[in-house]
Chains A and B, each alone.
Chain A
Amino acid sequence: MNEATPPKEERTAALSGLGTSRKRVEDARFTQGKGNYVDDLKMPGMLFGDFVRSPYAHARVKSIDTEKAMALPGVHAVLTAADLEPLGLHWMPTLAGDKQMVLADGKVLFQAQEVAFVVADDRYAAADGVAAVKVEYEELPVLVDPFKAESDGAPVLREDIADQTEGAHGPRRHPNHIFTWESGDREATEAVLAEADVVAEEMIYYHRTHPCPLEPCGCVASMDKVNGKLTVWGTFQAPHAVRTVASLISGIAEHNIRIISPDIGGGFGNKVGVYPGYVCSIVASIVTGVPVKWIEDRSDNLMATAFARDYWMKGRISATKDGKITGLHCHTTADHGAFDACADPTKFPAGFMNICTGSYDIPTAYLAVDGIYTNKAPGGVAYRCSFRVTEAAYFIERMIEILAIKLGMDAAELRVKNFIKKDQFPYQSALGWEYDSGDYHTGWDKALKAVGYEDLRKEQAARVEAFKRGETRMLLGIGLSHFTEIVGAGPVKNCDILGLGMFDSCEIRIHPTGSAIARLGTISQGQGHATTFAQILASEIGLPAEDITLEEGDTDTAPYGLGTYGSRSTPVAGAATAMAGRKIRAKAQMIAAYLLEVHDNDLEWDVDRFVVKGSPERFKTMKEIAFASYNQAIPGVEPGLEAVSYYDPPNMTYPFGSYICVMEINVDTGTTEIRQVYALDDCGTRINPMIIEGQVHGGLTEALAIAMGQEIAYDEQGNVTTGTLMDFFVPTAVETPNYQTDYTVTPSPHHPIGAKGVGESPNVGGVPAFSNAVHDAFRAFGLTQSNMPHDHWRIWKTAQSLGLHD
């Protein structure tokens, strides 16, 4: 009866499961202009909201005159803090345990802060209204330098909490101080550093930048007063968390709130937080009784919604004369802007900055982070990064290079000497993490061979000589980077946001004819979840991926989850998907056993069916089982085939990789040309190689931008000088190189399918690779450290400071 059974390989291929470069199911609509982004929504009677924003970085708001604006045709309402106060909505909690003004309450604390919300017929009328609102300000002294925050005479920014000596993360020692967070053993580290053969010390600055997704943030809020239901469509990377927060701050019962994330045009961390635009739109919809849309423009996005980085990391690293690292000390000054609005897990106000021992076996370490308020926009989000891992990786990868200089060693050799060895995993780091798995030496060797490292060094040495002889003005930089990420937040025992445990979820329903729908607590912003999660399931339950619909982002239908950021979708929701699939399979096994009249244990799984052990001709396919589950009365078994899994990961996952960038630098102009970028990633089990490669290309390009020119800069008055794409660098196809990708596979031992997450690795590993290339080019001329971004002017200045210009 089974002569028609196709061979295993054929049946496996038909599933398009794990490991296949399945084409994306999302692309049909995106390539035809049929994506459904929030600004595409149009509803009867819908109004449009826009903000009056502060031109000042620090000022008292003396008065707000809305009369002229209200008199304009098409303007329906102008909300100020005074209107929100009776509702208790003039301030809102941030995801970091701080609170943030929704609309200016007495003063403004950063340029472009939201002051009033004008609601009008359309975006043009709203902009007219915005221009007609007259606000009288009294300028106050501005604080932009975090190192001056605690000096005498520093202006007190947060008058609302000025006298609170205890914050959400422990004691505060100054009104402009947010928290001190420590990790590791301070005394032991000091002792090691004091006795070390060699100590390298440097301030590493990772500048302020911005995720700048192509689609800005926005929402449509619709309060249905008849049914008492609030629906909000918006750019939410964490829709369920937004629902809970919305319920807590508005008092509307959670079941009466529905949050929907439609298609999202890139997030990169920018769309994790809760913004005043969301709150104001909700209030405006309640006030006006019709749906209200708010869509920020690019300047609003760059100037007011969440920035990333801005960490001043003072490091000391010690080693023996022959290059064995003995200790690491880091003190970080974290510029958080006017409100602490990071999206870090509660117990980690500096995120996972304490992964800063990186890929190295450093026996003793200590980290302290001081969070500081300044007159800048709030944020500090994980821009394509798992909570400050980019900062940590940049810090350690710079410190390694600097130590290599101090030791007079080759930086690749220094890394090899200090890598955590394969047999040390699971590895307990000095700062408290348990690295799940890794094999750093193998990937590293592969990378060095792939780029021809030895030859490159020879070429570089020859170039230096030629330069010195005046034969060339081009220098060659070899940028090395070996990163270890920590992603997949995370175990509920130590990871929560606002008390919400960071598990994730998947719910599967198999239809009678053997197709399925799966819903997850995450939300894709371009990662292709509908494609890859179906692949995980296909392999688990033996139904073709193309027969599995994936749904995310609607809190009324999807199971609760913490969303997509910090490379957590695959490690957490991916695991939930596999686990839910296994529950399906377990029930399917019982059904098959009944149908085949054997004991459960007499069956074995074979790609897409259960087969009676030793009798390959007796089997039931998943399709048959699905049908039977609905249509056959099976004693002791409920009808239907559904499962749900809430997955609380036992540990984080630790993807890693070896990146190398070869860069030509023109000493006369400071311009750079990327000659080669080689990126070897180990993200454990690979679900869809095509998508992994795409993620690596994208992350590297963001890394290139950050390292080479992209920044959110402020002048001394707190004005943003990079508030549009005229000044905020986003690379085009012209300056973006081609990338060479590669991989090794070291599965995570605790993840159900061994996957680790990859989306953020290229940003984490890419930035140090590019930055190290710049530094490396000048190493022969005495450069130890210079600040990113390495734009042409800064590189030119570096060359000048080293006496390389005439």
Chain B
Amino acid sequence: MYQTNYVRASSTDDAVAKLDDEAKLLAGGMTLLPTMKQRLASPETLIDLADCGLAGIEDLGDALKIGAMTRHVDVETSEIVAKSIPALAVLAAKIGDRQVRNRGTIGGSIANNDPSACYPSAALALDATIHTNSRDIAADDFFVGMFETALEEDEIITAISFPKPAAAAYAKFPNPASRYAMVGVFVAKGDSVRVTVTGAGEDGVFRHAGLEAALTSSFAPESVEPVTVSGEEMISDMHAASDYRAHLVKEMTRRAVAACGWP
């Protein structure tokens, strides 16, 4: 781990004021710390967002607003979440292990946009809005590519709003070693159906048009069958080639649809 400075921001504004090219925001640190230990990241200063008041889950009626510093365990165990978007609680419960969920935050996960992280799939499938200190960004515009988002250098996620779906479910096929998603599929049913895939795409999380069309016309596990899911732009690594991942996308989609309690 390189030398670094550590400061705690007292508010989002304070964090922005402290932020410069050499600084990095520290949320739960579940990705940043291991990265720094491997000397793959060397921020001169860490700005801890712990005291910025960004944690909390709020029911807005037609949506859930979850503060950026809300930890996975709080989403996992929240009664509000369980009542309105249980799929989110299921997703949170499947992240890492209890110790990791006690520290990791939804904002950190969304901002990092790790291609095998779980949360981006939920944000994209639920058509979430990512609130930052300066604007609101639609999830469709937010996830740009692997580890890339629409966030500007001086922008900080403050919360994420998830519109409540008619039904939603998340099916995860974990990498057996890391327990990250090798393939994770989030299915959300509203007026139309949105199907998002994490863990598989070379550019990170993505929506699958073919699956969405098929499920919009008929929301049932067997609708997945005729859809072609190509492995072409999917990740191939030592745990799974792209064709296997493509196959798992369909399998996980089927499971997610079934878990939605269709029709």
Contact = CB atoms under 8 A, between A and B. Distances in A.
Interface of A: 124, 127-128, 131, 668-670, 709, 713, 721-722, 725-730, 732, 735, 791-793, 796-797, 805
A128 B251 contact: no
B98 to A, nearest CB: 11
Highest count of chain A CB atoms <10 Å: which of B180, B244, B251: B244
A615 B177 CA distance: 68
A793 B177 contact: no
Contacts of B39: 127, 131
Contacts of A128: 2-3
A435 B178 CA distance: 43
Contact of A793 (B178, B180, B239, B251): B239
Interface in B224-257: 237-241, 244, 247-248, 251
Nearest to A127: B1
Contacts of B97: 732
A127 B3 CA distance: 10
A128 B173 CA distance: 38
B61 interface: no
Contacts of A709: 176-177
A735 B97 CA distance: 13
B169 to A, nearest CB: 17
A288 to B, nearest CB: 23
Interface in B1-47: 1-3, 39
A713 B238 contact: yes
Given A669-B248, A722-B177, 4 more contacts: A669-B251, A709-B177, A793-B244, A797-B244
Nearest to B39: A131
Please list the 5 inter-chain residue pairs (A to B) with the smallest Cβ-Cβ separation, ordered nearest first. A726-B178, A729-B177, A721-B238, A793-B240, A727-B177
A735 B174 CA distance: 12
A131 B238 CA distance: 28
A721 B241 CA distance: 14
Given A127-B1, A128-B3, A792 B176 contact: yes
Contacts of A797: 244
Contacts of B177: 709, 722, 725-730
A426 B177 CA distance: 44
Contacts of B238: 713, 721-722, 727
Interface of B: 1-3, 39, 97, 173, 176-178, 180, 237-241, 244, 247-248, 251
Contacts of A727: 177-178, 238-239
B176 A124 contact: no
A797 B241 CA distance: 10
Contacts of A721: 237-238
B84 to A, nearest CB: 28
Nearest to A130: B39
A793 B1 contact: no
30 contacts: A127-B39, A128-B3, A131-B2, A131-B39, A668-B247, A669-B251, A670-B244, A709-B176, A709-B177, A713-B238, A722-B238, A725-B177, A726-B177, A726-B180, A727-B177, A727-B238, A727-B239, A728-B177, A729-B176, A729-B177, A730-B177, A735-B176, A791-B176, A791-B239, A792-B176, A792-B240, A793-B240, A796-B244, A796-B247, A805-B247
Contacts of B173: 669, 792
Highest count of chain A CB atoms <10 Å: which of B176, B238, B248: B176
Contacts of A791: 176, 239
Contact of A124 (B1, B178, B239): B1
Contacts of A722: 177, 238
Nearest to A796: B244
A714 to B, nearest CB: 10
A74 to B, nearest CB: 11
A472 B229 CA distance: 23
A544 B89 CA distance: 55
Nearest to A668: B251
A128 B1 CA distance: 8
B178 to A, nearest CB: 4
Nearest to A713: B238
Contacts of B180: 726
A791 B237 CA distance: 13
Contacts of B240: 792-793
A299 to B, nearest CB: 8
Nearest to B252: A669
A217 to B, nearest CB: 19
A722 B177 CA distance: 10
A668 B221 CA distance: 15
B247 to A, nearest CB: 7
A728 B238 CA distance: 11
A727 B176 CA distance: 8
A792 B237 CA distance: 13
A403 B107 CA distance: 57
Contacts of A124: 1
Contacts of B248: 669
Highest count of chain B CB atoms <10 Å: which of A713, A721, A728, A796: A796
A726 B100 CA distance: 14
A524 to B, nearest CB: 29
A319 B78 CA distance: 65
B59 to A, nearest CB: 32
Contacts of A131: 2, 39
A727 B116 CA distance: 13
A69 to B, nearest CB: 14
Contacts of A796: 244, 247
A735 B179 CA distance: 12
Contacts of A793: 239-241, 244
Contacts of B239: 727, 791, 793
Contacts of A725: 177-178
Contacts of B1: 124, 127
Contacts of B244: 670, 793, 796-797
A427 B59 CA distance: 76
A713 B238 CA distance: 8
A669 B1 CA distance: 39
Nearest to B177: A729
A719 to B, nearest CB: 11
A455 to B, nearest CB: 31
Contacts of A127: 1, 39
A307 B251 CA distance: 36
Nearest to A735: B176
A231 B209 CA distance: 67
Nearest to B180: A726
Nearest to A714: B238
A792 B241 CA distance: 11
Nearest to A731: B176
A787 to B, nearest CB: 14
A722 B237 CA distance: 11
Contacts of A729: 176-177
Nearest to A789: B176
B187 to A, nearest CB: 17
A127 B237 CA distance: 29
A127 B1 CA distance: 7
Nearest to A124: B1
A250 B205 CA distance: 57
